[in-house]
Amino acid sequence: MRVGATTFTPLSPASNTSTVKSTAFSPVDYVVFALLLVLSLAIGLYHACRGWGRHTIGQLQMADRKMGCLPVALSLLATFQSAVAILGVPSEIYRFGTQYWFLGCSYFLGLLIPAHIFIPVFYRLHLTSAYEYLELRFNKTVRVCGTITFIFQMVIYMGVVLYAPSLALNAVTGFDIWLSVLTLGIVCTVYTALGGLKAVIWTDVFQTLVMFLGQLAVIIVGSAKVGGLKRVWDVASQNDRISGIELDPDPFVRHTFWTLAFGGVFMMLSLYGVNQAQVQRYLSSRTEKAAILSCYAVFPCQQVVLCMSCLIGLVMFTYYKEYPMSTQQSEAAPDQFVLYFVMDLLRDLPGLPGLFVACLFSGSLRYLALSLARTISSAFNSLATVTMEDLVRPWFPRFSEARATMLSRILACSYGLLCLGMAYISSQMGPVLQAAISIFGMVGGPLLGLFCLGMFFPCANPPGAVVGLLAGLIMAFWIGIGSIVTRMGSGTAPLPLNGSHFPLPSNLSTIAMTTPMPLTTLSRPTGLQRLYSLSYLWYSAHNSTTVIVVGLLVSLLTGGMRGRTLNPRTIYPVVPRLLALLPVSCQKRLRCKSHSQGLFGDTTVLPEKMSNGMLKGIRDKEAVAEPIKGPLHPGSSPTFIVQETSL
């Protein structure tokens, strides 16, 4: 069912034979671009020199838990959102219309749920790594499995992030590929290893402002050159680029309202709910309230970024209707369209092309135009943290503070060098690169399912968690690799852009942005090909659901939590209260009791939460229980008090 929708076809390449327009940087552009890297490095050096010799492991990894709401919010926005917005979204709007704009509907639940469910649980446990939660809830085996999965995901991702955008910029600006890779890698590694999380967050703030300035410059100059925003909208409407609401519930359709608004929620949860890069920022806040407010503050920022990116796409469409692309530009990969547009639009304004390319390096995340000091540094810091907290400290609990701090810096540098090596391997992978990038998009869903399994289902046990995670990863790789091998892509069958070149998608969340719509009617896929054509925005939902379903089945078959200790602070309290409404026989099978009898049969009370969000009397990660005081009704079991953040 389609309401107010228009049928549009992808924009065909301009049929002109004009020569390639100059895309050379002026000296001013080089100065502006270099200034970004210098300032980013200076921030790291400043925070390193300011406390050199006095940095503790907590200051290095968690910014001493004293960060304010605004810098944390901008850092949250910078880590995962801005790259797609800068290059992928304008290209999507330029070729297919504004249907993608409805993804903004998913931002509400995608940030509200982390703010009131994940953040309170993580913050009150006083975690450093998100994967510490898995040990508190399950055991060390589950924690190690989650950590290794995260490291595998991020190392592959960062190598591609370093190499691919440098390749794209080489084609557009003439930058040497390996000089670009080396420069980005060194700058990110240095200011991350020396300055720690505080340097990363403040660099995020600076680079986010650069991102906004770069996008704003393109919108203002571009709309002025084509006759104003009203004319931009009119031209887009006349050429069927303003789309209506597509209400088709088919999950195999590339983009519908349901796919964008609800499938996008799971994608947001995997990024803003359980990803270490984001959790680490939440936990660096001064208080739990500040962490929640920072999550709220991301919502309007994301909407602004999405709207600006969509406007750039519409301005670009109008511009090239009047000033057609050159032959070489029209044959380029779609992700390079924005770069060509910026160089064409701003080439007579020295400094502005450099500002936008600086914006590109500040805000891009994904392949063929998505790189950035900020994103890579976030990942370096997160990798060093999870390695230190999940793989080193458990085996060397008496590690001194000085040695732990030094080792954390060495780990950040080591991961930086490892990712430089991965960037070189990426250059040799050829078509396999497509599969390597897709792996990153296939891991977030199973990890989300693992955390949800532990947080929402008290009966889930360690065997169920491990088997569920493995099942989710197997399902994710099966569908993801199958879609690549069969060239089905995400929800539509991709066709070569120029008849000989198949665009390599950045990951499963941007596959459709680099894949043109078919120009002819294709036969409807059947069997496994039908499964492989699942829309990319449902990947996180599908894979996380697989983990939960398989994990629950295995947990129930292996006796649930019978004979095991369950820390009530690792469970979100709404679910146990809902389970209390079940019949007693079901509660016993699920190893939970009615609220009046004491949930989980525990005779403890949760420690009182102090004003900073931490638990009173808690000095380590272990739960400290205080016995219930006061009279109890005869024949009843003690209960415990559950701290809860209301919606």
**pLDDT above 70 for 352:** yes
> Measuring CA to CA, which residue among 10, 535, 76 is closest to residue 260?
535
Write phi, then psi, for 587 (nearest 5 degrees).
-65, -40
Write phi, then psi, for 610 (nearest 5 degrees).
-85, 175
C-beta separation of 287 from 613 below 8 A: yes
CA atoms of 337 and 309, how far apart (whole Å): 13
Residue range 566-582, pLDDT digits in tens: 888 888 877 666 777 77
User: 492 CB contacts (<8 Å, ≥6 apart)?
Assistant: 254, 512, 515, 517, 518, 533
Residue 127, beta-bridge partner list? none
C-beta separation of 42 from 207 below 8 A: no
The reported pLDDT for the residue numbered 376 is: 40
C-beta separation of 609 from 120 below 8 A: no
The reported pLDDT for the residue numbered 473 is: 92
Residue 318, beta-bridge partner list? none
Cβ neighbours, 10 Å, residue 121: 21
Structure tokens at 179: 């000089």
Query: What b/e string do you get for 129-151 counting C-beta neighbours within 10 Å, with b at 16 or more?
Result: bbbbbbbbbbbeebbbbbbebbb
The reported pLDDT for the residue numbered 624 is: 38
Write phi, then psi, for 45 (nearest 5 degrees).
-65, -35
C-beta separation of 291 from 285 below 8 A: yes
What's the CATH class of domain 2-13+34-545?
Answer: mainly alpha
**pLDDT above 60 for 55:** no
Residue range 480-528, pLDDT digits in tens: 777 767 754 444 433 333 333 333 333 333 333 334 444 444 456 666 6
Domain boundaries of the chain, sorted by first residue: 2-13+34-545, 582-647
CA atoms of 2 and 164, how far apart (whole Å): 37
Cβ neighbours, 10 Å, residue 350: 15
Residue type, 121: V
Q: What is the mean pLDDT of the chain?
A: 69
Task: Calculate the CA 551 to chain-centre distance.
Answer: 24
> Measuring CA to CA, which residue among 486, 478, 455 is closest to residue 542?
478
Structure tokens at 139: 């055991």
Residue range 386-441, pLDDT digits in tens: 565 555 666 666 666 666 666 666 666 666 667 666 666 655 544 334 444 455 66
Confidence of residue 461 (pLDDT cuts 50, 70, 90): very high
**Angle in degrees, CA 53, 58, 64, rounded to 5:** 95
What is the pLDDT averaged over residues 162-170? 65
- Encode 354-410 in three state secondary structure: HHHHHHHHHHCCCCCCCCCHHHHHHHHHHHHHHHHHHHHCCCCCCCCHHHHHHHHHH
More confident residue, 149 or 615: 149
Confidence of residue 383 (pLDDT cuts 50, 70, 90): low
Q: What is the pTM of this model?
A: 0.70
| Residue tagged 């026989």 (tokens) | 585
CA atoms of 463 and 446, how far apart (whole Å): 15
Helix (H) or strand (E) holding 3: strand 2-3
Helix axis angle, 177-226 to 229-238, nearest 10°: 90
Residue range 207-216, pLDDT digits in tens: 777 778 878 8
**pLDDT above 50 for 114:** yes
Residue 285, beta-bridge partner list? 67
What is the pLDDT averaged over residues 209-224? 85
Tell me if residue 256 falls in helix, strand or coil: coil
User: 299 CB contacts (<8 Å, ≥6 apart)?
Assistant: 107, 108, 111
Confidence of residue 601 (pLDDT cuts 50, 70, 90): very low
CA atoms of 541 and 267, how far apart (whole Å): 7
